[in-house]
Each structure stands twice: as structure tokens, then as C-alpha cells.
Amino acid sequence: MADRVWQWTGRTADQLRAALRLTNEAFAEHLGVSARSVADWRRKPDMVPMNVAQQVLDTALEQAPEDVRRQFHEATGTGSSPTIEPSLGGAHRLVEDPHIGRALEWLDQAATWSAGQARAKVAAQLAELDSQALHDRGQRRAQVSQQQLVWALASYYGDAPEGYGRYGARIGDTETATTVLTSAEWLDLAAPLLGAADRLAVTTAPAPEPALDDSAAEQAVARLAEALTVNVQLVDMPLYRLDSTDVCAGSIGGQLGVDRFARYALTTDLLEAETVDALADNRPVAPGQLPLRDRYLPDFGAVLDVSNRLCAGGTLALCAIARPASLLRPRPDYVLMIQERSGRVLNAARRLAVIPKGFHQPMTDYRTDAQLGATLLREMEEELFGRSDIDNTIAEDRHADPMHPSRLSAPMRGLAESNALRIECTGFGYNLISGNYEFPGLIVIDDEQFWTEHGGALEANWEASGLRQVSTLDRDQVAELAGEIAWSNEGLFAYLQGLRRLAQLGGERVDLPAIEWELW
């Protein structure tokens, strides 16, 4: 039996850090988690990390030098074993991770396999996969530019139906195009997301439950095996499903059902990887050449017919925080936050995106959480303000109201009290890469004292590998950033639509190039 602590806590995780003689930052890098998670374990000794973190800590202990293991066992009183077996890695999660278990159960049912057949198929692939080969493939995927995806899918789908078009824009001398299908009525909405204009409502309508053919089922098996091999987060939480829309200037409405993340991850979320891999391998992107796209999203009719498919999605927002003048910045401005997505996320891995960005999903109050503003507030707490206890990929949450005022972070509590927070929806569209619905937004914090008090504490969570700051007075940098090849399509959509609205609201804090959108 390999050395392991059967249930890690913040205390035992920090004792392993101490035995390794690592700082918080070095321990986080050693494990492949965020420094914030490590700090939380140290600050909250009784917290219980989720299964993904448990497995990462197991592996770190099993691979530690003998003297480190001995010191750890002495400190924790857990006892030790004289020999260490190789890390169980993904095989351990395959057996013990309840989220993977639920995904396997759904796959058995959808593929009409006997119980346990999906687990056996994943285990067989897991034994053969080479993690280095998967890492290399990830690097090849990262080389596929956003514009390559745009033109590949334009070739696949052809001309957009009347009244619709793919979103593009000119900013300064930079021309951009995206894979987001939208219409003129869905742009420049300026819809407030902290009030009555946010009208998305939850229904009890069941989702269509398609049976998987052999090809789709085997692709789902491959997704699970690869996720386990490279330790990608896959948490089977409830997920909103868009069934109908009622979107117009100043107002967001529509009907939502409730689905499961595992079903999405093993079906339509596979479309982006299939397309990116075809481009990376110089294979054609055309009808008849992409089996999953041909099945799930073959034409514009399927894209727009959300009532008969699983249409998951989310919201993301360009965040603009007022800053006072300083020695290096003689004029007050807004700072814009742009994230570089981690390779460990399922959605938009290794791409640029605005922050916050999150799947539209409920926490505890399914009807109230249906509002887009609820998702953005939660993602601000998690991705910028350090609330790891509401990140369902890090720790189980059992609080009746995770966003209760008494539980808010100091930055969020300050915003609530100062009334300095503006959140708006700037558009709507369907991303042709996956069929996801996208609600881009703009978050503006107008109180420059907020940056003075909290700017130094803002830190991206594990979903990002880095953050960039852009000043709204730097016209050239704002325009140049729009032309970078690493953007996710929804990220670029939100960036450009957010800038258009910020130009109207920002006053002397902004000096932005003109941005004109077009549908093509």
C-alpha cells in the first residue's frame, strides 16, 4: 500500500509543505495548484480539499524523498510504510472520485452499455496513455490561433442565416472576427444585471436525452481518460441549460432548465478539441470530416434550435477598476484585467479571456442564481477576491447561502456598502465552436479608493496561469491586445463589447480607439 493520508485537511497539507521546506508559492508550483489554495490550507486547518486536490497531495507524498515522508508521518502521527509504490494517479480518481463516478454512470446509460462498462473502457485507455504525449498535444493546440478557428468554422457552416452574422469589429487599425453568431438586436444591450432587467427564469422542463452512437461514446471515454491522466478538473455540478431567449436592449430574459456538467463535458464540450486537433494536424475542417460536430451541431439550424439540444454556457465580463493618478500614471484611469487561462480548465484552456469568466450554474438557490449578475458576483469573489470556499473544484460547500453578506470578502463587502459597482450585459450570442450561449458583460468599479485599499490583494485563482493589466489611457496597447492570436472567441467578444460601453461611461479616465462592430 502506498503512503497516503486518507483524508487530507488544510493542516496535514501544510505539514507536508513544512516537511518539504517549501514556501507557499514553491509548494503551489510543486503541486500544480494556485498559491491561494495553499494559503487557504494554511489559514483554514480544518478545511477538507476536494478529491482532485486530495489526489494531487497523495501523489506529492508518495513521490517525496524518504526523509520527508518520515518527517511528515512523525508530525501527523499517521505512521509510515517502508516502501512506496508508484503513484496511482488517474487510476485512483477513477475509483474514488464521485464526480468521475457519476460521469461514468451517465455514460453507461447514454451509450446503452452494461453497468461498469464505461469504467472498464476508461481504465483500459488510462493504462495506455502517455502524459507527455498529451502535454505535447496541448502545446500543439495552443499554437492554433483564434483566427484559424474563425475561418475554419466559416468554411464548415457557410453563410449565416438572414438576420444573423458572426461578430467582428475594427478597433483602430486592427480588424477582428470571431466565431460568435449574433444579431444586431443582441448587441450593445446596456442591460443592468443587478436588478429587474435580469429576467432569466428556471423551468422544470426535462432536457432532451440523446443516445450516443459508438463514435460519440468512445470520444467521451477518451475525454475521461485524458482528463484523469493530466489531472484536469471535472466536477459534476448542476448547470443551467438555455431553452429559449428573450433578449433586447436594456433587458435579458429567457427560460433555463437545469442539467449536469458531466453530460455537457462528455458531449458538446468535445467539439472545440475535435476542431482544434484537426487544424493542428492539418486535417480538413468540413462537413463529413468532424464526426462529433456532424452529430451535435451540423448547421445553423441546430445552433439556433436550443430547445432541442443541450445548450450550456455562461457569462464573462471586462472588469474596469478606477485608479487614482500616481508617480507612474499622471492621470487617473481604469485598469482592465485580462487573464491567460490555465491548461487545467475544460473551457478555453491556454487562451486569453476577460476576468471574471464562469459557467452559468446554480449554487443553492436555483431561481435567484439564474440571474447572470449572481454568476458574475460569485466569479468575482472566486477569481479576483480570494473566496476559495465557493470554488466547487476546491472544496465542498455546505453553507445555506454562500453569498450571504456576512460571508463576503472585504473587497466585495466594501463594494456593496459604497454602491460603486456597475454590472451590465453588453451582448448575447452563440459560440459556433461549442454551441454555448455567451452573455458578455462589463463590470465598472468607479471608486478609486477601492484600488488603493484592495488592488494589491487581487489575484487570479487556479483557472488562470497569469493576469495582464491594461490602462484605458493606453490606446495603442488596448488596440494591439485585440489583435493577439491567443484570444478565446467569447473572450474577444466580451473585450470588444465591453470597451464600446466603457467608452460611453468612462469620461476622462478613458482614451480608447473607436470600435465598430460588423456582422459577416
Tens digits of residue pLDDT in 469-506: 999 999 999 999 999 888 999 999 999 999 999 999 99
Q: What is the pLDDT of residue 79?
A: 59
In this structure, which amino acid lies at residue 219? Answer: Q
The number of folded domains in the chain is 2
Domain boundary among 25, 57, 87: 87
Comparison of pLDDT for 58 and 90, the residue scoring more: 58
301 within domain boundaries: no
Q: What residues make up the domain containing 25?
A: 10-87
Instruction: State the pairing for strand pair 313-323/437-445.
Output: parallel
Q: Is the pLDDT of residue 456 over 50?
A: yes
Q: What is the pLDDT of residue 294?
A: 97
Residue pLDDT, tens place only, 14-50? 999 999 989 888 898 888 777 878 888 888 887 877 6
Q: What is the pLDDT of residue 87?
A: 37
351-376 b/e (C-beta count within 10 Å ≥ 16 → b):
bbbbbbbbbbbbbeeeeebbbbbbbb
Helix, strand and coil percent figures for the chain, each rounded to 5: 45, 20, 35
Q: What is the pLDDT of residue 290?
A: 97
245 within domain boundaries: no
Q: Is the pLDDT of residue 1 over 90?
A: no
Among 2-16, 84-98, 112-126, 280-294, where is mean pLDDT lowest? 84-98
494 within domain boundaries: yes
In this prediction, residue 358 has a pLDDT band, given cuts at 50, 70 and 90, of very high
Q: What is the pLDDT of residue 82?
A: 35
283 within domain boundaries: no
- What CATH number does residue 349 fall under? 3.90.79.10
In this prediction, residue 51 has a pLDDT band, given cuts at 50, 70 and 90, of low
Domain boundary among 87, 104, 119: 87
In order, the DSSP letters of 422-454 are: EEEEEE-EEETTT--EEEEEEEEE--HHHHHHH
139 within domain boundaries: no
Q: What is the pLDDT of residue 29?
A: 81
Q: Is the pLDDT of residue 55 over 80?
A: no
188 within domain boundaries: no
Average pLDDT over residues 411-417: 90
Domain boundary among 87, 110, 132: 87
Q: Among all chains, which residue has been given the C-alpha cell 468540413?
A: 286
In this prediction, residue 396 has a pLDDT band, given cuts at 50, 70 and 90, of low
Average pLDDT over residues 385-399: 66
63 within domain boundaries: yes
Q: What are the helix (H) ranges across 258-314?
A: 261-265, 270-280, 291-296, 300-304
488 within domain boundaries: yes
Q: Is the pLDDT of residue 450 over 50?
A: yes
Which three cell numbers, joined as nine digits, stand for 395? 472544496
Q: How many of the other CB atoms lie within 10 Å of CB of 431? A: 25
Q: How many of the other CB atoms lie within 10 Å of CB of 105? A: 16
Q: What is the pLDDT of residue 463?
A: 65
Comparison of pLDDT for 101 and 30, the residue scoring more: 101
In the chain, what percentage of residues exceed pLDDT 70? 91
* DSSP H/E element including 244: strand 238-248
What does pLDDT average to over the chain?
88
